[in-house]
Amino acid sequence: MSTRRSVIKNIVAGSAALSASKLFAADMGTTSQHAPLKLKGNINHSVCQWTYSYLSLDELCELVKSIGFSAIDLIAPKDFPTLQKNGIYSSMCYTNGDISLTKGWNHTENHVKLTQQLTEAIPIIQQNGYKNLICFSGNRDGMDDETGLKNCLEGLKPIVDLAEKHDVIINMELLNSKVDHKDYMCDNHTWGVELCKQIGSDHFKLLYDIYHMQIDEGDVIRTITDNHQYFGHFHTGGVPGRHEIDNTQELYYPAIMRAIVATGYKGYVAQEFMPAATDKAASLRKAIEICDV
């Protein structure tokens, strides 16, 4: 991959033969230029910012637009102006400040801090025209699942009431506890769906991460079909390794995407794989093509 420094060096050396588009392509780590994809419109596509962190947010916005979609996941309010300047939508928002996956709503000692963070973020998200805000259960740390469910319900109910007033959806992410997030409590859809039922609001849903749930549960299509009303957002990723979602891994994403479309889902599917190929921009373009059913 050509580095940003090498691109600048070429300019200084008088490499006028490179067009602006080719310079951009080199900086993005892609080997060739393509026209934006002609997407079918059945899936709203996005990409998680952290997986393309070798690019600045401005550069990622340009890459997204060059492929032909217009959303980026996991953006904090401090970065909303950058997205808006580039005409890109924040399909899943973070709160400002430090975010912990391990210290979540299942432990009551975290409620004051988390309540403050989400209470501050929810109106900002609404004011900027966005809908989704992520949250996490936290680790068990010896706690049984029933107690954790009760504690999450107690802490989140007032937050969800606030979210309803601002038409924002709180999404708790399902993460695997087998490989990546040892001891995480919301590591299965059954527990998460029960929390959704007890909260009893369309403004609290689950972020169904296909990569994570393939590792801990499998049976992805049946789970999505049977529980789709509780899933507010989707993430992708290749299994094993969390790399490209092509034929190098065990999941067949076109079938999964068709199952999602069949439920009537109108939200976003965000690519959250860590590109292993040299041409990382091409990997993202290919992933969008695979998921555009």
pLDDT (0 to 100) of residue 3: 40
Count of domains observed in the chain: 2
Q: What is the pLDDT of residue 34?
A: 86
Contact 205, 233 (CB under 8 A): yes
Q: How far apart are CA 3 and CA 16, in angstroms?
A: 18
Q: How many CB atoms lie within 10 A of CB 141?
A: 12
* CATH code of the domain in which 153 resides: 3.20.20.150
242 with 274, same domain?
yes
User: In terms of domains, do 9 and 68 share one?
Assistant: no
What string of DSSP letters covers 220-264? HHHHHHHHGGGEEEEE---TTTS---STTSS--HHHHHHHHHHTT
Does 115 share its domain with 206? yes
Question: In terms of domains, do 228 and 257 share one?
Answer: yes
Domain identity same for 117 and 56: yes
Give the pLDDT confidence of 81-98 residue by residue, as tens digits.
999 999 999 999 999 878
Please state the pTM of the whole predicted model.
0.90
141/223 same-domain check: yes
- 16 and 83 both lie in a single domain: no
> Is 49 in contact with 75 (CB distance < 8 Å)?
yes
5 and 113 inside one domain: no
- Identify whether residues 110 and 133 lie together within a single domain: yes
Asked if residue 92 and residue 6 are part of one domain, the reply reads no
Residues 6 and 100 occupy one common structural domain: no
Task: Give the pLDDT score at 97.
Answer: 77
**pLDDT at position 8:** 34
The answer to whether residues 70 and 25 belong to one domain is no
Q: Which positions of the chain have pLDDT values less than 70?
A: 1-33
Domain that holds residue 135: 34-291
Helix 280-291 with 57-67: angle, nearest 10 deg: 50
